[in-house]
Amino acid sequence: MNEDLDIRVLTSKDVVVLRNMLAVFGQAFEDVPTYTAHQPDDAYLERLLESQTFVAIAALEGAHVVGGLAGYVLQKFEQARAELYIYDLAVDEAHRRRGVATAMIQRLQSLATARGIYVIFVQADHGDAPAIGLYSKLGVREEVLHFDIAPRAHDA
pLDDT tens-digit series, residues 23-33 = 999 999 999 99
pTM, 2 dp: 0.85
Distance (Å, whole) CA 121 – CA 153: 31
Alpha-carbon Rg for the chain in angstroms:
16
Instruction: Give 151's pLDDT tier (boundaries 50, 70, 90).
Output: confident
> Does domain 5-138 bear CATH number 3.40.630.30?
yes
Distance (Å, whole) CA 23 – CA 34: 10
Strand order in the sheet with 82-91: 5-9, 54-61, 64-75, 82-91, 119-122
* pLDDT computed for residue 33 by the predictor: 95
DSSP letter assigned to residue 127: T
pLDDT tens-digit series, residues 98-117 = 999 999 999 999 999 999 99
Instruction: Give 70's pLDDT tier (boundaries 50, 70, 90).
Output: very high
